Amino acid sequence: MMLKYFYDPALAHASYLVGCQRTGEAVVVDAGRDVQPYLDAARSEGMRVVAVAETHIHADYVSGARELADQHGAKLYVSDEGPAAWKYEYAPRYPHQLLKDGDTFRIGNIEFQAIHTPGHTPESISFMITDRGGGADKPMGIFTGDFVFVGSIGRPDLLEKAAAMAGTAEAGARALFRSVQLFKTLPDYLQIWPAHGAGSACGKGLGAIPSSTVGYEKMFNPGLQFDDEQAFVDYILADQPEAPKYFAVMKRVNKVGPEVIGQRRLPTKTEPAQIEQAIGLQMVIDIGTSTAFAAGHVKGSINIPLRYLAAWAGWLVDYDKPVSLIASAKDVPEAVRILRKIGIDRIAGYFDWQEVVDAGLRTESFAEVTPMEIASQVQDGKIILIDVRGESEWKELHIEQAQRCFLGKLPEMVAKFQGDCTLAFQCRSGGRSAIAASIAQAAGVKKVLNLQGGINAWASAGLPVVEHGMSCGPNSTACDHETSRQSQAVFWNGMCPVG
């Protein structure tokens, strides 16, 4: 048997190529949309991809299962568990086998057994594999998808939070508890191969190690330590990361079948003279560095630097609008590859960054400021400080005068802002807040600042912070208990205390 591991750090997504060396057949497990690496790896091993198996209808990326079936003749092995609303609608168009709990299939001499493991999603299955070609009568490992990760387990609240399916979070948590109890009966020696690693929003506290064993996870995985169902439900529903709103789009796309991209060409270059028209009809995203964008950019464009594109485009891009990029030509292929992974296929073209500069179209800018430059104005309310980090980060440490507005929700909230306030955006180190400043300015907020170094720089400068509910700073005689948060009414109600 041959097993190859593929990891996409931009999406914290793990997938696998499993091949039978005796027959030369291979299957991809939980394929990403860019299928060429699997095909290349199989070819280098003298194998061919004949199948693709999927643990569930994925929410955080476009699956490559249909691409492999349509363009390369791979047979689909997908779940037939769960309610009618969560069936693979495109599967009947291709050779396929729908799998229920206990069903098996073979790729060469490698046997896959489907185990229904609901909770993260109702249709979730895991694949336990046995290498029959080696004479083994015991399984060697299990592909757990988004059910069990290294150091964590899948979250059951995504359908409710991202897809607005009311009441599904607690039901999913109770189903997940039952799945966990089943998992704990598996042999300790089994290897586990999950579909995500550290940084994924499909669970909390995922480990960065690529694989583990059932026995190790039984001992150290926090999600596997509960015998009481209600205690487990309370634990698994608490402190989950924000659910990206594009997850609902991905669920639908992967259920009905994503568009086949085949050998689709890259978008073409658009002349700078057309940029004003594009701003009115499209989302224009500058993927250059935040420093360059702050110094000068096209009015109405937003900035998502290339290194942040996978993490934030799904939150911030309007899927109903075409997208144009402002980018250097060398960065366009990678940007397009990332956007297509999360289902942003309507890419109208790109404007060459240097041509935009030469045409004098960078007519807006905003300042990047240090904590000491604005601290006194923040403390007396002349500058409104907006913390765009996640809730768990806020709870751990925040600036007392700050108001929290998570970056992923900013586009829908910033439109409510009116007045002549100066808004300073802040995150941990200044990256996310730079994106936020671009969004606010594109939405018409006139006075925008980005706090360089974020809360890290603020604390390093000795300025006061609230840590774990305790107010600490150079003027504190002690870390006094702090129970109140700064009201967010100033921002949300569109009022400004400063003229």
pLDDT digits over 343-372, tens only?
A: 999 999 999 999 999 999 999 999 999 999
Q: What is the rounded average pLDDT of the residues 92-113?
A: 97
Q: Are residues 188 and 246 in the same domain?
A: yes
Whether 419 shows a pLDDT value over 50: the answer reads: yes
Residues 282 and 396 reside in one and the same domain: no
Per-residue model confidence (pLDDT) at position 421:
84
Q: In what helix (H) or strand (E) does residue 454 lie, and over which residues does it extend?
A: helix 454-460
pLDDT band at 237; cut points 50, 70, 90: very high
Confidence of residue 164 (pLDDT cuts 50, 70, 90): low
- Say if residue 12 is in the same domain as residue 104: yes
- Residue with the bigger pLDDT between 481 and 27: it is 27
Mean pLDDT for 41-51 is 98
User: Which of these three, 310, 340, 364, is where a domain ends?
Assistant: 364
Query: Would 266 be classed as within a structural domain?
Result: no
Per-residue model confidence (pLDDT) at position 498: 34
237-267 as b/e: b if 16+ CB within 10 A:
beebbbbbbbbbbbbebbbebbeebeeeeeb
- Residue 487 sits in a domain whose CATH number is 3.40.250.10
Q: Examine residue 18 and state whether it is found in any structural domain, yes or no.
A: yes
Contact 310, 246 (CB under 8 A): no
Give 487's pLDDT tier (boundaries 50, 70, 90).
very low
Does residue 130 share a domain with residue 71? yes
Q: Are 248 and 312 found together in one domain? A: no
Rounded Cα–Cα distance for residues 214 and 190 (Å): 6
Residue 290 and residue 360 share a domain: yes
- Rounded distance, CA 81 to CA 120, Å? 13
Say if 263 falls within a structural domain.
no
Amino acid at site 60:
D
Q: Is residue 241 part of a domain?
A: yes
- Kindly write down the DSSP assignment for every residue of 387-439, as one continuous string: E-S-HHHHHHEE-TT-EE--GGGHHHHHTT--SS-EEEEE-SSSHHHHHHHHH
Q: How far apart are CA 422 and CA 415, in angstroms?
A: 15
Q: Give the model's pLDDT for residue 469.
A: 57
User: What pLDDT is attached to residue 468?
Assistant: 76
Q: Where is average pLDDT lowest: 98-112, 225-239, 281-295, 460-474?
A: 460-474
In angstroms, the Cα distances linking 78 to 7, 53, 65, 88, 441 are 21, 6, 9, 8, 45
Does residue 497 lie in a domain region? no
Confidence of residue 2 (pLDDT cuts 50, 70, 90): very high
Q: Is the confidence at residue 161, as pLDDT, over 90?
A: no
C-alpha span between 348 and 269 (Å, rounded): 9
Q: What is the mean pLDDT of residues 35-63?
A: 96
Whether residue 123 is predicted with pLDDT greater than 60 in this model: the reply is yes
Would you say residue 43 has pLDDT above 90? Answer: yes
Query: Measuring CA to CA, which residue among 403, 251, 271 is closest to residue 348?
Result: 271
Q: What angle do CA 225, 228, 234 make, to 5 degrees?
A: 85
Last residue within a domain, chosen from 230, 256, 282: 256
Which residue would you say has higher pLDDT here, 491 or 405? Answer: 405
Number of folded domains that form the chain: 3
Percent over 70 (pLDDT), the chain: 93
Statement to judge: residues 357 and 372 lie in one domain: no
Per-residue confidence band for 167, with pLDDT thresholds at 50, 70 and 90: confident
Cα–Cα distance, 459 to 371 (Å, whole number): 9
Lowest mean pLDDT among 89-103, 411-425, 446-460: 411-425
Q: What is the pLDDT of residue 129?
A: 97
Domain assignment present for 262: no
> Do residues 357 and 414 share a domain?
no
Torsion of CA 323, 327, 328, 332, to 10 degrees: -30
Least confident of 93-102, 158-167, 277-286: 158-167
CATH number of the domain where residue 204 is located: 3.60.15.10
Together in a domain, 297 and 223: no
- Are 440 and 467 part of one and the same domain? yes
- The per-residue pLDDT for 488 is 39
Residue at which a domain ends, from 191, 222, 256: 256
What percent of the chain has a predicted confidence (pLDDT) above 90?
Answer: 79
Task: Looking at the structure, tell me whether residues 134 and 89 fall in a common domain.
Answer: yes
**How many angstroms separate the CA atoms of 471 and 482, rounded?**
6
Domain that holds residue 322: 272-364
Mean pLDDT estimate for the chain: 90
Q: How far apart are CA 435 and CA 416, in angstroms?
A: 18
Query: Which pLDDT band, with edges at 50, 70 and 90, does 134 fall under?
Result: confident
In a domain, 479, yes or no: yes
What are residue 481's DSSP bridge partners?
470
Q: Are strands 283-286 and 347-352 parallel, antiparallel or unpaired?
A: unpaired
Do 469 and 401 belong to one domain?
Answer: yes
pLDDT of 485 higher than 80: no
Nearest to 400 by CA among 478, 473, 499: 473
pLDDT of residue 44: 97
Rg (C-alpha) for the chain, rounded Å, is 25
Rounded to an integer, what distance in angstroms lies between the CA atom of residue 183 and that of residue 55?
15
Q: 450-475 pLDDT, tens per residue?
A: 999 999 999 999 999 998 755 555 54
CA distance between the termini of the chain = 71
Residue 490, pLDDT above cutoff 70: no
